[in-house]
Amino acid sequence: ENEGRLGVFWHTQGSGKSYSMILFSQKVLRKFEGNYTFLIITDRLELDGQIYKNFANVGAVTEPEKMVHAQSVEHLRELLGEDHRNIFSIIHKFQLQAGEKEFPVLSERENIIVMTDEAHRSQYDTLALNMRSALPKASFIGFTGTPLIEGEEQETKKTFGDYVSIYDFKQSVEDGATVPLFYENRIPELQLNNEALEEDLDNLLNDIDLNTDEEKKLEREFSREYHLITREDRLDKIAQDLMAHFNNRGTDGKAMFVCIDRLTAIKMYEKIKAQPNCPDVAVVFSSSQNEVSYFKEKGFDITPHRLRMNNEDLEVKFKEPSDPLKIVIVCNM
């Protein structure tokens, strides 16, 4: 009747959406007969790891991680050919193998439910079509933490069905599940003539975190705009403004600083650390091939930052109010 479309679940970011995914899967297993398999799909490695940890921490996963968390394209195909209650993967593992012209059917089971996190971001491209080819009889439910814009909403509903639950930002704040969000434009003027710059950059940055090759592509394709945005005197002003605001706001708390790319993140680390009364600051971004030589070529040493990212649980430190780590610098959230 619904052609495998179970609906769209919109709960605002920070309100516990991943726990709603857990509760949904557990309720299905409790209320309906049959060995249901839940395939939990995200489009980012960080989200993939975070959701798996949440399932594991509440006991919703009963099998060892290596038996349910896809480590490669081949491993995902193996898992989908077996019988597991939960399987975790990023959408990118639904890619064609060498010599394949179309994606093979991996399972014709009707009791597979695909739960897609941030459903509006990656469910209309080739990888998503491959996933549906692999699981022709599966059902799909989309989870999102952001309201769907016009056009995007219609596409998402076409893929997953109508809204089945809405918990918007206003309700979440009223309930105390999330804190209010305030926006203030503090960006130094650029005087750019290209009115399409913002849209063009958004399109380019809408993928997974840029690797070093993609950062070079960014510099090439937006050479003039990129160098205006990241010029040294502008970054100096931003660092000064950040620390003046952070140190004089009169309340405790922490800050996340989002940069256009990894190189700018490292530059901003140096500039922020040079400001008076600077607290503990850390850079956090995923590793990429040849990053040591790339940063060395730009005049920076990535090694101490990578060591800290690998050796310390910076996420836990940042979330702990009493930990001295006060500012984290990330890129392309």
pTM: 0.68
* 65 in Cβ contact with 52 (< 8 Å): yes
Q: Which of 175, 210, 242 is the last residue of a domain?
A: 175
The lowest-confidence range among 61-70, 148-157, 170-179 is 148-157
Residues 162 and 251 both lie in one domain? no
pLDDT on residue 211: 57
pLDDT at 32: 92
Is residue 206 located within the same domain as residue 311? yes
Q: What integer is the mean pLDDT of 24-46?
A: 91
Separation CA 157–CA 154 (nearest Å): 5
What's the CATH number where 36 sits?
3.40.50.300
Alpha-carbon span 66 to 63, nearest angstrom: 8
Tell me: do 129 and 15 sit in the same domain.
yes
Return the pLDDT at 203: 58
| Residues 13 and 135 placed together within one structural domain of the fold | yes
Same structural domain for residues 129 and 263? no
Distance (Å, rounded) from C-alpha 232 to C-alpha 288? 25
294 and 213 both lie in a single domain: yes
Residue 188 lies in a domain: no
Print the domain residue range for 67.
5-175
Exposure string (b/e) for 295-322, b if CB count within 10 Å is 16 or more? beeeebebeebbeebeeeebeebbeeee
Between 300 and 173, the more confident residue is 300
Residues 215 and 83 in one domain: no
Per-residue pLDDT for 204 more than 60? Answer: no
